Amino acid sequence: MEKWLIAAAVAVVLIIPAIAYRIRDRRACRRRYAASYGRFAEDAPTERQRAADAAYFKAVANTDTCVDDITASDLDIQRLYEHFNRAQTSAGREYVYAALRMPLYDAVRLAARDERATVFDRDAARRIATEMDMGAVGRLRGRSLHDALQNLRTDGRRAIWSHVVMLVLILAMTGLTIYDDRFGVLLLVAVGFNMTYYFFIRKHFTDPMCIFRYLMSMMVAMNRTYARNADLFPDYAETVRSVNRRLGNIRRFRFLISDGEGDLLSFLLVYINAIFHFDCIYFGRAIGRLRRYGEESAALFEYFGETELALSIASWRRAVPFWSRPDLSTVSADAQPQLEFTDMVHPLIETPVPNSLDVPGPLLITGSNASGKSTFLKAVLLNALTAQTIRTVTARRWAGSYFRILSSMAMRDSLATKESYFVVEVKSLYRITAADDTVPILAGVDEILRGTNTLERIAASAVILEELAKRRVLPVVATHDIELTGLLDGIYHNYHFREALQSGVISFDYRIHEGPSRTRNAIALLGEMGFAADITARADEMAARLAPQMHLGERRTDAGI
């Protein structure tokens, strides 16, 4: 009796601290999720992790409607993603990244994302519980789950007959040894052979089994979260049933697969598997079922993605200074696209200056250096993108068409293809002019054709921009070439950003104004940056001589606006 009491006491001593630690850990997680909610994410992924996050997008992207690599670079989508993303699973991370680059043209799907985010925002208990389930799954660091699942289904074929033979051999030797202990030597030989073979081939199984364990943990989390959030995912009811019906059997014996890390049982299970090869047999059969029902694992991936996308949207809306739901509409084939916004700001700037505009048609925006043209241009395109991906804009009001979004802004030489800046820029512009405009295009162009001489730049720019305006394209163009305001008068609507020079200090209001810019500030900026006064004076004199020939605007003076 005393032995049993001692054993019970030891068990209590070992179990109670483990339970206490688990309770403390869960409370810490809850506090962390609550504290980080409503703040910009502080994700700083490695280059390898960035490639993994983008893998799903590259596999499923529709080149006719998604945000292409040039536009993604111009708008700094990676930075948007890192500020926005709250996903904790690999499926969530990859899906969220893809969602930000794949605008929707379906009001129903956008409304569903909005509703989920709204509910998660209002119900903190539900939100935190869902995040804890996702956090328990975790992520594969530096690896793409989408690619890993593809490899698991295609390269995970493992012949199980050899492992079955070894299992039968061990069982037979065990039975013979029980019958006659002289067979014990043969049993030891069989055990040694099985273990040697197991550890020899284990390196080939380690990675696929790791992915498989991860997939099984996703299935457990799916059932927990769906039981709590079924009302938010009515369209996924059949998906959840199908995953459980077709893949549920392989989840039942997932405990057989162990990496030997963690508790004592996991460590012992490795050696049990080494003798009997239970995990190899089970894994081989499970992979066969995964190959047969690949659509279910893809549906599981999407469910996780939509769940963590909704959690990210809810937190993002709390983090930005203000937001609203966009009013989006589909325009007929013979109608021009529309856009109107009030107090729109760039979502990634800490202290943004709001701008309002009822876009009357193609826009040509001029203005001095650093006056806000490029930031405004990117703000328009980024808000158009978030309007169609997360149904959220950083504006008091946003009403417009559904757009395909393209840009040509921050071009650079390509060392890989040995192409000059100008060639890269021409190709970038051409893809906009050649793009299918069945869906209206919102095109952002910054400093068009800056890589060539002034005469040809202005002539070619005028013709290209005129052609864009003839199509179902809403061009928003920022330029220093004031000559274009006259050449495109009546086709483009002129707006500008302006500056003031007071006592040698240049300041900007960063607000858009109607009409073309009539001022210059480049030479003044030279002086402000430290160039000698005689250099800026000589530059002013030369500019004065050239201005009549080039129809340039006036240099900014202390008089201000």
Residue 395 CB contacts under 8 Å (≥ 6 apart), including other chains: 323, 324, 341, 342, 343, 344, 345, 354, 383
pLDDT at 553: 46
Pairing type for strands 519-520 and 554-555 reads: parallel
Give the number of other Cβ atoms within 10 Å of residue 179's Cβ. Answer: 9
**pLDDT tens sequence across 64-111:** 889 999 999 999 999 999 999 999 999 999 999 999 999 999 999 999
pLDDT at 276: 77
Q: Where are the alpha helices (DSSP H) in 37-60?
A: 47-60
pLDDT at 373: 92
pLDDT at 380: 97
Residue 335 to residue 316: CA distance in whole angstroms: 34
55 or 525, higher pLDDT: 55
Residue 58 to residue 69: CA distance in whole angstroms: 10
Report percent pLDDT > 90 for the chain.
44
**pLDDT tens sequence across 301-357:** 999 999 999 999 999 999 999 999 999 999 887 888 999 999 999 999 988 999 999
In this predicted structure, which of 129-138, 240-249, 284-293 has the lowest mean pLDDT? 284-293
Q: What is the pTM of this model?
A: 0.84
Per-residue 3-state assignment (H helix, E strand, C coil) for 511-555: CCEECCCCEECHHHHHHHCCCCHHHHHHHHHHHHHHHHHHCCCEE
**pLDDT tens sequence across 130-179:** 999 999 999 888 889 998 888 776 654 556 777 778 878 888 888 888 87
Residue 478 CB contacts under 8 Å (≥ 6 apart), including other chains: 365, 366, 367, 373, 374, 376, 377, 445, 446, 447
Residue 528 to residue 525: CA distance in whole angstroms: 5
**pLDDT tens sequence across 396-423:** 999 999 999 999 987 664 444 556 778 8
